[in-house]
Amino acid sequence: MQRKLLWLCSALVALSLGAGTPAENTGIPDWVIEDWNFQMSHTGIWMADNSAYQGEQEPYDAYGMEWEWGLGKKSLQGRMICLQGEKEVATVWEFLQFWDFEAKALRMIQIGGDGMLGQGTIEDLGDGKSKSLERFCTPTGACFEVGHETWKDQGDFYTQSFDIVEGEWRKRRLYVWKQKR
């Protein structure tokens, strides 16, 4: 009896830890799994130069994104950091990406260091490209929409951000994210 109970407990632990390929046989679309594997490749840490946008209000030399697997490798958790030189000076966002089975959508939730909350979806455009739409609300209740188009090229990850005003997408910043190895 003890041996059967030990085997059952071991099997349950292995299932909950997500042995093997992330999100294997879970109904999560291949494009999501491929993107998560790409984000997690090597160290799961990505760096982007900020020199084109530096100023008095934004003195940071670079930004970093760190990703790690969520429970059972069925989601990604991450954070965005600010860097001066090689030194981390602040975490400005925490992220969660997960597949919403009911809505059949990849969802993103972001929480800012100032209490701002962003929620939205990420859509597959094919060929390693995606588009996201998020609604952000400040702690005082002011809300606005932001979009991103992302793509991969030669191992790098690109993000083009947009302000969305009355349905019109207005370009903001373009970042090239390089893996930290």
d(CA 54, CA 116) in angstroms, rounded, equals: 22
Mean pLDDT within 53-73: 95
Mean pLDDT within 36-56: 94
Residue 10 has pLDDT above 70, yes or no: no
Mean pLDDT within 95-100: 98
Domain regions of the chain by residue span: 28-179
pLDDT per position as a tens digit, 11-35: 333 444 444 445 455 799 999 999 9
Q: pTM for the full model?
A: 0.82
**Phi, psi torsion values for 88, nearest 5 degrees:** -75, 130
CB 158 within 8 A of CB 28: no
pLDDT averaged over every residue in the chain = 88
d(CA 120, CA 130) in angstroms, rounded, equals: 13
d(CA 87, CA 159) in angstroms, rounded, equals: 23
Residue-level pLDDT at 24: 53
What is the residue whose two structure tokens read 């966002």?
93
CATH class of 28-179: mainly beta
Task: Name, in order, each residue with C-beta under 8 angstroms of 26's C-beta and a sequence gap of 6 or more.
Answer: 74, 99
pLDDT per position as a tens digit, 108-167: 999 999 999 999 999 999 999 999 999 999 999 999 999 999 999 999 999 999 999 999
